[in-house]
């Protein structure tokens, strides 16, 4: 293979990757905005659906609604165990304490149950430590409100 043929083949091989990189650079702001609106997906260890739902749940909880102290981040690989343990504690407390406080707490309980189901059923479940910490905060905050309820 002569030099000109080699150069021509290299240009042909690099054309599509270079075009994709160029388009990504040109439209980086629009791509960034699009990526923030993704509601479900997986990229490496990130799971968008679980994390997006937690952010929505956290946004709906009024400030000062129970104990929302910072949760301890679980060790790497212990995300599933931390979520399941927090759920067991919450479930035990709600069964022992009777009814949940209000419709908002009942809705939060059901949504946390759905997220717990994702954690327990998905083989590749591996959310970010921040998402796990947010789940723990929401579960502990709800548990604290149940414990503070009259007759609990």
Q: How far is CA 76 from the centre of its chain?
A: 15
Kindly report, residue by residue over 108-137, the tens digit of the pLDDT: 888 888 888 888 887 777 777 888 888 898
Kindly report, residue by residue over 79-93, the tens digit of the pLDDT: 788 888 999 998 888
Q: What angle do CA 48, 86, 105 make, to 5 degrees?
A: 80
> Which tokens belong to 119?
């954690």
Rounded to 10 deg, the angle between the 129-148 and 103-121 helix axes is 140
pTM over 0.75: no
**pLDDT value of position 67:** 41
Please compute the mean of the pLDDT values over residues 98-110 and round it to a whole number: 78
For residue 123, the 8-state DSSP code is T
Half-sphere exposure of 131 (CA within 13 A, CB side): 24
Domain ranges of the chain: 1-37, 39-148
């Amino acid at each position: 293979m002569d030099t000109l043929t080699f150069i021509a083949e290299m240009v042909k091989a690099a054309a599509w990757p270079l075009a994709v990189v160029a388009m990504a650079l040109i439209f980086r702001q629009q791509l960034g905005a699009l990526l923030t609106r993704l509601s479900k997906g997986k990229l490496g260890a990130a799971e968008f659906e679980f994390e997006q739902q937690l952010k929505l749940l956290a946004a709906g909880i009024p400030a000062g609604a129970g104990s929302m102290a910072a949760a301890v981040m679980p060790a790497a690989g212990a995300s599933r165990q931390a979520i399941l343990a927090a759920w067991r504690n919450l479930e035990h407390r709600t069964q022992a304490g009777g009814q949940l406080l209000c419709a908002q707490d009942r809705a939060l309980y059901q949504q946390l149950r759905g997220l717990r189901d994702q954690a327990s059923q998905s083989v590749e479940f591996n959310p970010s430590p921040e998402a796990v910490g947010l789940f723990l905060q929401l579960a502990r905050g709800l548990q604290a409100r149940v414990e503070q309820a009259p007759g609990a």
